[in-house]
Amino acid sequence: MSRLYKTGPERKKGIWKSLVDLALTDVRVAAGGLDETSLEAIEERLLTADFGVAATLRLVDRAEAELRRGKARGHAAVVESLKAEIAEILGSPDDTALATATDGPTVYLVVGVNGVGKTTSVAKLAHWLAGRGLRVMVAAADTFRAGAVAQLETWAERIGVDFLKGQQGGDPAAVAFDALEAAEARGTDVVLIDTAGRLHTNRGLMQELEKIDRVVRRRIEGAPHETLLVLDATVGQNAMRQLEAFKSSVDVSGIVLAKMDSSARGGIVVALRQEHGVPVKLVGTGEALEDLAAFDPAAFVEAVFGPEP
Ligand X SMILES: Nc1nc2c(ncn2[C@@H]2O[C@H](COP(=O)(O)OP(=O)(O)OP(=O)(O)O)[C@@H](O)[C@H]2O)c(=O)[nH]1
Query: Which CB sits closer to Mg ion, 147 or 187?
Result: 147
Query: Which CB sits closer to ligand X, 259 or 273?
Result: 259
Tell me if 287 contacts ligand X by CB under 6 A. yes
Residue 232: name its binding partner from Mg ion, ligand X, none (Cβ under 5 to 8 Å by kind).
none
Distance CA 282, CA 297 (A): 11
Distance CA 158, CA 155 (A): 5
Stretch that binds ligand X, among 75-83, 94-102, 208-216, 283-291 (CB under 6 A): 283-291
Tell me if 208 contacts ligand X by CB under 6 A. no
What's the closest the beta carbon of residue 208 comes to Mg ion, in angstroms? 15
Cα separations in angstroms, 189 against 108, 134, 214: 11, 6, 21
What's the closest the beta carbon of residue 114 comes to ligand X, in angstroms? 4
Residue 220: name its binding partner from Mg ion, ligand X, none (Cβ under 5 to 8 Å by kind).
none
Among 291, 295, 301, 306, interactor with ligand X by CB under 6 A:
291
Query: Which CB sits closer to ligand X, 55 or 136?
Result: 136
Residue nearest to ligand X (CB): 197
Distance CA 33, CA 307 (A): 19
Q: Which residues contact 176 (CB under 8 A, 6 or more apart)?
A: 109, 139, 141, 193, 212, 215, 216, 219
Q: Which stretch of DSSP H or E encloses residue 281? A: strand 280-284
Bond before 224 cis per omega within 30 degrees? yes
Number of residues that bind ligand X (CB under 6 A): 22
What's the closest the beta carbon of residue 254 comes to ligand X, in angstroms? 16
Query: Which CB sits closer to ligand X, 75 or 281?
Result: 281
Distance CA 54, CA 38 (A): 19
Starting from the edge strand earliest in sequence, which strands make up the sheet with 254-258, in order? 162-165, 136-141, 190-195, 106-111, 226-232, 254-258, 280-284, 292-294
Among 50, 66, 85, 142, interactor with ligand X by CB under 6 A:
142
- In this structure, is the dihedral angle defined by the CA atoms of residues 245, 249, 251 and 254, taken in order, positive or negative? negative
| Binding mask of the shown chain, residues 98 to 137, with x at each position contacting ligand X by CB under 6 A | --------------x-xxxxxxx-----------------
Q: Which residues contact 128 (CB under 8 A, 6 or more apart)?
A: 292
**Residues facing 228 on adjacent strands:** 110, 254
Among 258, 264, 282, 303, interactor with ligand X by CB under 6 A:
258
Query: Which CB sits closer to ligand X, 105 or 197?
Result: 197
Q: What is the DSSP letter of 279?
A: P
Query: Which CB sits closer to ligand X, 82 or 116?
Result: 116
Given the rule CB under 6 A, which residues bind ligand X? 2, 112, 114-120, 142, 145, 148, 197, 258-259, 261-262, 284-287, 291
